[in-house]
Amino acid sequence: MGWALVSVSSDLPVLQYQPRDGRQVVVLGGVWTSQYLRQVQALLVRQRHRLTEVSVWDFDQVRQLDRVAAGLLWQVMGERSEPDIKAQAEHRQLFQEWQDAEPVVNPVSPFSWMLMCAAWWHVLASFWAHVEHGLVLLGSLCLDGWQVMKRPARLPVAEIVSVLYQAGVRALGITALVGFLIGIVLSYLSSLQLQMFGAEIYIIKILGMSVIRELGPLLAAILIAGRSGSAMTAQIGIMRVTEELDALSAMGISHSLRLVLPNVVALLLAMPLLTVWTDAAALLGGILAAWHTLDISPGQFLLTLPNSVPLLNVFLGFAKAAVFGVAIALIACHFGFRIQPNTESLGQETTNSVVAAITMVILVDAVFAIAFMNRGMM
């Protein structure tokens, strides 16, 4: 077998027609291999109509023929059982192989209402599986909490500190930046409206209330859900792929104690702190914008702020942040354990984790808003 890799024009697959003894003969030449697959396909498509009238196929001048090209030719021959082929045994064998091959058939079942119902049932069942697994996770976390309370030495302190650093300290930059920018935008847009009514001084109350009660915790939570929630999900998922989860189980170490609890505790601690940080950055942005557009000095702003925002709002913000943190960590771990050992599942569940975490954060926020409707407003 020669290599025939050099792209000389004589290598290209060619064919020509020759009438021989009153029969239409096609003489093929050149290299007919998968390397020239595009040329072979183009040639066969161009000559499709004429080739159907051919009765004898002459392969004597073909330098090289492989299985793929033979398959294409076999198809053009109309998948006939006995085409008149003039070829050496080696090439003839290829056509015989195609002749003998049974295609693999995908057992796809046809559409039916039963299948439709089954698909809906499947959706319901998978939703139930989510709820069930979530409850199991929460339950085992409570049990772990009880264990740790009985024997505080079992608290995975090193893991908690590590997650605190990864999810908390390393998020300081992005939360400050986003908070600062949102503060500027909010303050600038509100001040334009307030100026029309001559009610400039209310900018302090508007900013203070919205940032401390709503935006600070929410912004921090959404950023952490996208940043650390996805990381937690992917981390647990990769541990499944590399069988590290099984190794932990084999050593008799509880997944929830070693993997879930540190994440939950760390976010429970980190989220309120990040909220203070984001609040500060957003207020700083707001103060600067108010100073610039409304000429309210930072000193005046800071002196008026405690009087216009009731203290309850600060604690409400902390409480919300803590609940957000627990929700983000739990959802991230829940989806992490659902990852199957393949690339597609890893991407899918990580996306689901972030979407579910952000949705849950907004849902919890709405619940808080309703529960504390008349508290801390004045």
CB of 40 to other proteins, least distance (A): 9
Q: How many CB atoms lie within 10 A of CB 367?
A: 12
Cβ closest to other proteins, residue 4 vs residue 185? 4
CB of 153 to other proteins, least distance (A): 39
Site string for other proteins, 210-229 (x = CB under 8 A): --------------------
Site string for other proteins, 41-60 (x = CB under 8 A): x-------------------
Cβ closest to other proteins, residue 156 vs residue 237? 237
Is residue 351 a contact residue for other proteins (CB under 8 A)?
A: no
Cβ closest to other proteins, residue 3 vs residue 146? 3
Residues in contact with 261: Cβ distance below 8 Å, sequence separation at least 6, in sequence order: 141, 144, 145, 148, 156
Q: How far apart are CA 318 and CA 171, in angstroms?
A: 17
* Interface stretch with other proteins, choices 29-37, 141-149, 188-196, 214-222 (CB under 8 A): 29-37
Bin 280: left if φ > 0, else alpha if -120 < ψ < 50, else beta.
Answer: alpha
What's the token pair of residue 347?
């991407």
Q: Looking at residues 136 to 165 of the shown chain, list those that interact with other proteins (rule: CB under 8 A).
A: none
Cβ distance 65 to 93 under 8 Å?
A: no
Per DSSP bridges, beta strands 14-20 and 56-65 are unpaired
The torsion defined by the Cα of 213, 366, 272 and 161, in degrees rounded to 10, comes to -170
Cβ closest to other proteins, residue 31 vs residue 171? 31
- Angle formed by the axes of helices 67-76 and 37-46, to 10°? 10
Is residue 341 a contact residue for other proteins (CB under 8 A)?
A: yes
The residue from 21, 49, 81, 103 that contacts other proteins (CB under 8 A) is: 103
Q: Which residue ranges make up the site for other proteins (CB under 8 A)?
A: 1-3, 5-6, 33-35, 37-38, 41, 66-68, 71-72, 75, 97-98, 101-107, 340-344
